[in-house]
């Protein structure tokens, strides 16, 4: 289904940016997991608008309610339904967009596909849809944590401001405190300051910028993923490129690996602490579509926010030339708020693959 994701641990998101509410239904969650709305709220607070002066000022508490699937604070194995009410709606800010296509938005393509569209903040194409993903990801992440998995995403680049290549060791896992120390969620303090300055500068010009998020996962066992179509990196790529504003995905050495020779790029096997390891991690933790037990490392590229407070040329729904200036409350850079969304989608993919692996290889023994 087009609004669902996952094979065994599945989610279905629903709702629009300026509708009554946003939500998600989670199916396949194992029973007995202790979970509260407060735990889910921690991740939603990292994603919500209005949390700093470099993001959209829309005032939403994004308070989550658990409608089903738990009893006395534990999951029951039945579908979990979560809802977040929209409280700061201003659909009138989009009246002009009813008849004009916003450059680089989904207005034209949605109308081409469905024959109509919801112009209020983009409807389902709005990044507000990701509330459901983050809420579900909080549950997936807690399950993974019970298995010793640590997952961290952080910003490595905003526009042309990037963390120095030697600033983070290849096997380092930044702490949550270091990532959350600044609103830009970059664990390198000096670079974070420069990133914030860049975002504020482009915002003052009514413009926007994009950037890159890196995600690192530690504690995965070897063996997760399928060898052909549902390779672990393929499902991660699908998950990340399903996020609004994403334009690129790479794992391990990525495109930079094309500059190396095989003798430089190959990850030699060795034995450390009594188990098979690799001396380097150019593969990013995945070989042959299957996790190899090393840290999972991948990058996601986000384009500049499409809505800018400058006049732009476009056409209207009748195909006539028109002029349009962005209105409403928008992020001059979506990347800081996308960090918990990347983590959520990674957690959903990894848990789903772990459950699939267990179903095939651990349920039946001969």
Chain mean pLDDT for the chain? 93
Give the Cα separation of 115 and 59 in Å (integer).
32
List, for residues 71-114, the tens digit of each pLDDT value: 999 999 999 999 999 987 666 666 777 889 999 999 999 999 99
Please count the structural domains in the chain: 1
CATH of the domain at 349: 3.60.150.10
Instruction: Please give the residue range of the domain that contains residue 294.
Output: 4-361
Q: Is residue 366 part of a domain?
A: no
Using the predicted structure, report yes or no on whether residue 118 has a pLDDT greater than 90: no
Look at residue 329 and tell me whether its pLDDT is greater than 70: no
Give the three-state DSSP class for 118: coil
Provide the 8-state DSSP code for 52: S
Determine which of 17-21, 221-225, 244-248, 293-297 has the lowest per-residue pLDDT on average.
17-21
Number of H helices, E strands in the chain: 8, 18
The verdict on residue 22 lying in a domain is yes
Q: How many CA atoms lie within 13 A of 162 on its CB side?
A: 10
- CA angle (149, 30, 356) in 5-degree steps: 65
């Amino acid at each position: 289904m087009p609004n669902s994701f996952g094979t065994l641990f599945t989610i279905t998101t629903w709702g629009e940016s300026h509708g009554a509410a946003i939500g998600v239904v989670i199916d396949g969650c194992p029973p007995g997991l202790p979970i509260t709305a407060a735990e889910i709220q921690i991740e939603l607070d990292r994603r919500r608008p209005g949390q700093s002066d470099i993001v959209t000022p829309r005032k939403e508490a994004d308070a989550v309610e658990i409608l089903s699937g738990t009893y006395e604070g534990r999951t029951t194995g039945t579908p979990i339904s979560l809802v977040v009410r929209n409280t700061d709606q201003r659909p009138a800010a989009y009246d002009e967009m009813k008849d004009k296509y916003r450059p680089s938005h989904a207005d034209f393509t949605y109308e081409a596909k469905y024959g109509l569209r919801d112009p209020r903040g983009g409807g389902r194409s709005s990044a507000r849809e990701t509330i459901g993903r983050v809420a579900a990801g909080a549950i997936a992440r807690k399950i993974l944590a019970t298995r010793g998995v640590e997952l961290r995403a952080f910003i490595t680049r905003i526009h042309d401001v990037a963390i120095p290549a030697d600033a983070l060791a290849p096997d380092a896992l930044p702490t949550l405190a270091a990532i959350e120390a600044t609103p830009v969620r970059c664990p390198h303090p000096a670079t974070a300051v420069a990133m914030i300055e860049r975002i504020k500068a482009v915002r003052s010009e009514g413009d926007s910028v994009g950037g890159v998020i890196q995600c690192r996962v530690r504690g995965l066992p070897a063996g997760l993923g399928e060898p052909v179509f549902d390779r672990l990196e393929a499902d991660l790529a699908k998950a990340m490129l399903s996020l609004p504003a994403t334009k690129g995905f790479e794992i391990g050495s990525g495109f930079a690996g094309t500059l190396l020779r095989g003798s430089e790029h190959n990850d030699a096997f060795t034995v450390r602490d009594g188990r098979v390891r690799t001396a380097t991690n150019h593969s990013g933790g995945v070989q042959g579509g299957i996790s190899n037990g090393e840290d999972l490392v991948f990058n996601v590229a986000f384009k500049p926010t499409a809505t800018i407070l400058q006049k732009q040329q476009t056409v209207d729904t009748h195909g006539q030339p028109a002029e349009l200036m962005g209105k409403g409350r928008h992020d001059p850079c979506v990347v800081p708020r996308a960090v918990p969304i990347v983590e959520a989608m990674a957690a959903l993919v990894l848990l789903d693959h772990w459950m699939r692996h267990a179903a095939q290889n651990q349920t039946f023994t001969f």
